[in-house]
Amino acid sequence: MIKVNYHELVWEDGKTVEDLLQLIKEDRQLRLLTHDTYTVIVNNELILPQDYAKTPLRTGDEVRVYPVMAGG
């Protein structure tokens, strides 16, 4: 189990940030975001886009994902 934006998510250890973002994009229940420009924070550390595929997520990790957008 990991936390994504303060909410629990069943997770297979070792899958990466990139896997998470793909899941978010495809799963309507999880879909936090309106397009694919993100800021990703894992355990209070900023993850750069080039590291998404190299950053595994493990049980207990706390992830926050932010889009870029403005409401009208």
Partner 1 sequence: MSIVYRVNTTTKEITHEELKEEYRLLGGRSLIARVLTDEVNPQCDPLGAGNKLILCTTLLAGTTLPMAHRLSVGGKSPLTGGIKEANSGGTAASMLARHGIKMIILEGLPQTNDWHILHIQKDGTPELMDAVDYLGLNNYDFAAKMQERFGKDVGVISIGVAGERGYRNSTVQLIDASTGYPSRAAARGGLGALMGAKKIKAVVIEKAANRYNFPYADKERYEAVRKKYIQRVLSSPRTESMQKTGTISMIDFTSTVAALPVRNFSGQFFEQAEAIKSKAFVERAFVGGGKNKEGCQPGCIVRCSNRFHTKDGEYLTSGLEYETVALCGSNCGIADLDVIARLDRMCDDLGVDTIETGATIAVCMEAGKVPFGDGEGAIALLQEMMDGTEFGRLMGQGTEAVGKALGVKRIPTVKGQALPAYDPRNIKGLGVTYSTSAMGADHTAGMTLGPGIDPSKKDFQVEKSRQSQMGAAVTDSFTCSFGWGELNNDEILPEVMSSLYGGEWTFEQIMNIGKETIKLERAFNKAAGFTGDDDCLPTFFYTEASATGTVFDISPEEMQEIFNY
Count Cα neighbours of 33 within 13 Å in the Cβ-side half-sphere.
20
47, two tokens: 């993850």
Degrees, nearest 5: CA angle 69-16-44: 60
Fill in the per-residue mask, 10 to 49: x = in contact with partner 1 (CB under 8 A), - = not in contact.
------------------xx-xxxxxxxxx-x--x-x-xx
* Shortest distance in whole angstroms from residue 19 CB to partner 1: 19
- By CB under 8 A, name the binding residues for partner 1: 4-7, 28-29, 31-39, 41, 44, 46, 48-49, 64, 66-72
